[in-house]
Amino acid sequence: MTTTKKTALVTGANKGIGFETARQLAQQGFTVWLGARDRARGEAAAQKLAGEGDVRFVSLDLTDPDSVQAAAAHVSDTTGALDVLVNNAAVALGKEEGPASTISTDTIRRTLDVNFYGTLRVTQAFLPLVQKAPAGRIVNVSSTMGSVSTLVSPGNPLGQYGTSYAYSTSKTIVNALTGQLAVELSDTPIKVNSVCPGYNDTDMNGSTGAGQHPSEGAKVVVRAATIPADGPTGTFFDVSGPVGW
């Protein structure tokens, strides 16, 4: 079955920036698949957004190949093509383990399992559906923490955040995926971009009150998800413009 409405999938959308991205896409008239690894949390989040538009829970754990395949089959059977894929779900592990010289390789592996391998797994599973849409958009929610050029710039402006090497490296690799996939798909209408949503108060950083509301971060994500036909592909940007790789 197919639908004439535009369809979007947001991973890790039961809370935080993903939830607000799902809300804003629903408000724009998309049929939104709200991906969540926990059924109760996902169904509750979809229920909260019921008044905003057509929001449907789909069970999706990035680390579980069967879950990802089942989600892709469900979306394919129900709404057919996928106009927008937002790779939002991620974890931030090992902040207390310090920098590259001390962090455990196990923490790096567990981080990459979700942030990189999970993102790649979802992208590969859903790409056939994105290719069925007239002008697909893939958004990788990244972070300036993954920007090597920012990291090595004088004074290391990222040093103040103290985020783990595992997290920042996972986002560097996600950015590499953005570039590679954009080139691979460059002769198609599909656009692939990385965005940094800025510093938002979410569970990921303990909602310290030092950041903006995640609805602000979601606006950058939605901008990339709805980029026009003459917009860029293979780029990395935040609310202020291009971010260095």
Ligand X SMILES: NC(=O)c1ccc[n+]([C@@H]2O[C@H](COP(=O)([O-])OP(=O)(O)OC[C@H]3O[C@@H](n4cnc5c(N)ncnc54)[C@H](OP(=O)(O)O)[C@@H]3O)[C@@H](O)[C@H]2O)c1
Residue ranges that bind ligand X, judged by CB under 6 A: 11-12, 14-18, 36-38, 41, 60-63, 88-91, 114, 118, 141, 143, 196-197, 199-200, 202-205, 211, 214
Beta bridge partners of 215: none
Q: What is the CA radius of gyration of the chain?
A: 17
- The amino acid occupying position 75 is V
Least distance from ligand X to the Cβ atom of residue 160, Å: 13
Is residue 234 a contact partner of residue 182, using CB atoms and an 8 Å limit?
yes
Q: 107-120: buried (b, 16+ CB within 10 Å) or exposed (e) per residue?
A: bbebbbbbbbbbbb
Query: Using CB atoms, what's the residue nearest to ligand X?
Result: 16
Least distance from ligand X to the Cβ atom of residue 215, Å: 11
Token duo for residue 238: 């935040």
Catalytic residue among 117, 161, 165, 167: 167
d(CA 65, CA 2): 25
d(CA 187, CA 197): 28
Between residues 28 and 205, which has the closer beta carbon with respect to ligand X?
205
Least distance from ligand X to the Cβ atom of residue 49, Å: 14
Active site residue 167: yes
Least distance from ligand X to the Cβ atom of residue 54, Å: 20
Between residues 25 and 60, which has the closer beta carbon with respect to ligand X?
60
Between residues 186 and 211, which has the closer beta carbon with respect to ligand X?
211
Give the distance between the most distant pair of CA atoms in the chain.
55
Between residues 76 and 194, which has the closer beta carbon with respect to ligand X?
194
Token duo for residue 49: 């957004």
Report, as residue numbers or ranges, the catalytic residues.
167
